[in-house]
């Protein structure tokens, strides 16, 4: 029993988002002003929220995100914020989306691009 608890703790440390019940994601190699994140969506969740955070934004900052689900463009729900320009301070982009209730695994790819800001982190949550 102790071995199983240790294995669970090690898995949680390796992927904290999955430990909190969020889908597992893996950032790809980050460029100077871009980042691609690959995520695996499976299970009962139908609604998701992907959020990317930046710091040091100012009047000439731009940022945008594009989302792809299983190789096809994914439209974010109304109220999402997939681009920004000229905002100061701590800023973020957000894509809320829904997927059909199917038993198969889905693959989400999010590409972030920015200028004149510093990329901080991302979070994908099942709503």
For the segment 27-85, what is each residue's pLDDT rounded down to a tens digit?
997 788 999 999 999 877 789 999 999 999 999 999 999 999 999 999 999 999 999 99
Q: Has residue 119 been placed in a domain?
A: yes
Structure tokens at 87: 């905002």
Q: CATH number, domain at 82? A: 2.60.120
Distance, CA of 42 to CA of 94 (rounded, Å) = 20
pLDDT value for 21: 61
Q: Has residue 3 been placed in a domain?
A: no
Q: Has residue 17 been placed in a domain?
A: no
pLDDT value for 15: 39
Identify the residue with better confidence: 44 or 90: 90
Total count of domains within the chain: 1
3 state SS of 120 = strand
**Which residue in 106, 97, 98 sits closest to 46, CA to CA?**
98
Q: Has residue 71 been placed in a domain?
A: yes
pLDDT value for 109: 97
Q: Has residue 90 been placed in a domain?
A: yes
Identify the residue with better confidence: 11 or 105: 105
Q: Has residue 18 been placed in a domain?
A: no
The residue segments making up the domain with residue 74 are 23-126
Q: Has residue 11 been placed in a domain?
A: no
Q: Has residue 10 been placed in a domain?
A: no
- Per residue in 91-113, pLDDT tens? 999 999 998 766 678 899 999 99
């Amino acid at each position: 029993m102790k071995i199983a608890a240790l294995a669970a703790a090690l898995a949680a440390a390796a992927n904290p988002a999955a430990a909190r019940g969020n889908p597992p994601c893996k950032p790809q190699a980050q460029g100077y002003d871009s980042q691609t994140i690959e995520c695996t969506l499976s299970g009962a969740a139908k609604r998701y929220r992907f959020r990317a955070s930046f710091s040091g934004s100012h009047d000439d900052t731009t940022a945008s995100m594009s989302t792809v689900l299983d190789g096809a463009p994914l439209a974010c729900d109304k109220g999402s914020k997939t681009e920004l320009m000229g905002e100061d301070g701590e800023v973020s982009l957000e894509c809320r989306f829904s997927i059909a209730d199917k038993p198969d695994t889905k693959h989400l790819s999010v590409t972030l691009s920015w200028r004149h800001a510093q990329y901080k982190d991302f979070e994908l949550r099942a709503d």
